[in-house]
Structure 1
Amino acid sequence: MEKPKDRDFVETVEGLLFCVVGYLHPPDRYTAYLKYVPSPDGRWSRKGTRYARVIPYYHVSQVENTYVLLRERYPQYLFHCPVRNITVSSVLRTSVETYYHPRRRLRSILAGGAGDPLEQRLIDLVTLLSDLSGVRRGDLGVTGSLLTGSHNPKFSDIDLTVYGQAASRRLKEALIEARREDGEVQPYGRERLEAWSRSRSRRFPLSFEELMGFAERRWNYGVYRGTYFSVHPVRTDGEITEGYGDRVYRQRGVVAGTAEITDSRESIYLPAIYQVDNVEAEAPGEVEQIVSYEGLFCDIFEDGDRVEFRGILEQVSGDRDYYRVVVGAAGSSTGYIKPAA
């Protein structure tokens, strides 16, 4: 049986659509955040049902806002996790009406043909990226509203998934090269990069100039025939090595400091994991990792980079004990990672 993965979707018996987060899931639940709810005023639709987005964008503060709705109307989807020692939204497996797999959905669209212009652009984009990178179509998927079939061809984006470290790296290299050329895959122009940076400056404790630096480093997005698209690396089953309960995580307060990145390979995924050394921070033990649940900080920094950080200090207990800094998780809405001055 395939393991649950980041950016899968689940639909509950009430018709709620949740997006799966990460790879740490209790045996009877899927860790996920609420993204779409049935609403007569919704802009998305499927099979006669209209849907509204519960959060305008992914950020820990927005996810925590959904807990208010869940607490009032669907408390069964809030769970105090004894492994992470925080309350998270999650879906009981017995409450799942449909589980949506990105690879299966893409395979179905490729085999059955496009049902609308957006699906046709998806087919053409996947074909182009596969040809450019050598990544098999079977290692690609589609998530977001296209996954659940609730997309609106007039405004919906294309959100792709790519599975495994090797395939992700090949696609990254091909996409960077394709954006350098004057072809169908285009990067953001200067005006759009500036707008992106201004909007993020209202969400993160980072300056406009710092965010422009992030914007120029990001590789996993582009514009294809006028449609925005993004690419999200996802672990394969063999790359999911931690079982639920193998380790226990306990928050120890807010921490800030600097560190040197020693291994950035697993930062390509979400959560992004950076191995670090030479850490300067107020911590009761050695900090070995900086972990980000915020996509802004995924695959941005390289080995040897010295970074400044702010996040939640977590004590990790398991086969061995250590500390890590978590950005973008519960209680860390003001967290960040940025190049050290």
Structure 2
Amino acid sequence: MQFLDHYYVELRNGSLGVVVGSSHARSFVIGYVKYKPTVNKTPWFRSGIHYERIVKYYSASSVREHANWRMYIPHYDCDVPIIPISEVARLYNPLDRSIELERKTSDKLEVEALRLIHEVSINTGVLPGVTGSLLPAIHNVESSDIDLVVYGLRESTRVVEYIAENSRVFESFRDGKLEEWRISASRSTGLPAREVEKFYRN
């Protein structure tokens, strides 16, 4: 099996993990468990099963805190969260999900995701993949966002340039929303808010 960045994996216990990066070992992938089944009602569900979001913030400390498995990897000179291949029951490919949406959409969030996929692919010749909670179809129509991923350096550059030149497609954060993003990103990365804003591009 090939594992690329932002693929999702379903584990034997029903939990859902996120793959990080595209370089992995034979016996494990670098990644972390993000959702696990729960008896409690949550925004994320499918086929009558609700999922609890374990990693609530996108930060290294949050991922490290909730990592089920970790391993020291000399290349990174630190303990890295991993998922053993032996625990993987199913692989979710973002590009396959985009193709699946071409055949059938089940709700308004999937319809909007397909619209964005068409917008990008028609104007750049690049098919983006769908990741996030939409990938394993546990998304909430009212509260989930749409996460797209592009593979390949040339392909990524083409898409980024298209979005930068066509802000009507993906609206930039404005005023309060941008400030909210700056504060959140600053907390999760440990960087000053003014430094974080340099990485915002749209």
Pick aligned residue for 1:197 from 173, 182, 189: 182
Counterpart of 2:131, as a letter, is T
TM-score (normalizing by structure 1): 0.55
The yes-or-no answer on 1:12 pairing with 2:11 is yes
TM-score of the superposed pair, with normalisation by structure 2:
0.90
Q: Which residue of 2 aligns with 1:211?
A: 196
| Structure 2 counterpart of 1:335 | none
Asked if 1:36 is matched to 2:27, the reply is no
Aligned match of 2:66 = 66
- Residue 85 of structure 1 deviates from its aligned partner by 5.3
| Superposition CA RMSD, Å | 1.9
Q: Which of 120, 126, 144 is the matching residue for 1:136?
A: 126
Which digits, 9 at most, give the CA deviation of each residue in 1:65-105, with x for residues without a partner? 103xx3xxxxxx33344665543332222221111111111
Give CA deviations for 1:219-256 in whole Å, capped at 9, x if unaligned.
4xxxxxxxxxxxxxxxxxxxxxxxxxxxxxxxxxxxxx
Unaligned runs of 5+ in 2: none
**Cα 1:66/1:173, change in 2 over 3 Å:** same
The answer to whether the 8 Å contact 2:10/2:90 transfers is yes
Distance 1:100 1:175 in 2: 26
1:145 equivalent in structure 2: 133
Larger strand share, 1 or 2: 1
Given the alignment of the two structures, is residue 89 of structure 1 paired with residue 81 of structure 2, yes or no? yes
Deviations 1:185-241 (CA, angstroms, capped at 9, x unpaired): 3111122111211223333443333333433xx24xxxxxxxxxxxxxxxxxxxxxx
Using the alignment, how far apart are the partners of 2:84 and 2:198 within structure 1? 41
Partner of 1:265: none
Q: Are the aligned partners of 2:126 and 2:159 in contact in 1 as well (CA < 8 Å)?
A: no
What SS does the corresponding residue of 1:18 show, helix, strand or coil? strand
Gaps of 5+ in 1: 71-76, 220-341
1:184 Cα shift?
4.6
Which structure is larger by alpha-carbon Rg, 1 or 2? 1
Q: Say if 2:54 is the partner of 1:54.
A: yes
Partner amino acid, structure 2, of 1:160: L
Q: Tell me, what secondary structure is at the counterpart of 2:106?
A: coil
CA change 1:12–1:174 in 2 (3 A) is same
* Counterpart contact for 1:109–1:123, Cα < 8 Å: yes
Deviation of 1:18 after TM superposition, in Å, equals 0.8
CA distance in structure 1 between the partners assigned to 2:71 and 2:183 by the alignment: 35
Distance 1:206 1:25, change over 3 A: closer
Letter in 1 for 2:125: V
How many residues in Structure 1 have an aligned counterpart in Structure 2? 201
Query: In the alignment, which residue of structure 2 is the partner of 1:307?
Result: none
| In 2: Cα distance, 1:130 partner to 1:44 partner | 28
Change (3 A) 1:87 1:124: same
Q: Distance in 2 between matches of 1:82 and 1:209?
A: 32
Deviation at residue 148 of structure 1 after TM alignment: 0.6
Contact 1:7 1:19 survives alignment (8 Å): yes
User: 1 CA distance for matches of 2:5 and 2:117?
Assistant: 20
Alpha-carbon deviation of 1:108? 1.0
Q: Which amino acid aligns with 1:125?
A: L
The equivalent of 1:114 in structure 2 is: 105
Q: How many percent identity over aligned positions?
A: 32
Equivalence for 2:114: 123
Q: Distance in 2 between matches of 1:64 and 1:165?
A: 28
Higher relative CO (Cα under 8 Å, sequence separation at least 6) belongs to 2
Post-superposition offset of 1:14: 0.4
Q: Report matched runs for 1:1-341 at 5 Å.
A: 3-41=2-40, 42-67=42-67, 70=68, 77-81=69-73, 84=76, 86-111=78-103, 113-132=104-123, 134-137=124-127, 140-179=128-167, 183-215=168-200, 218-219=201-202
Following superposition, the deviation at residue 135 of structure 1 comes to: 2.1
Aligned partners of 2:20, 2:180: CA distance in 1, in Å?
A: 27
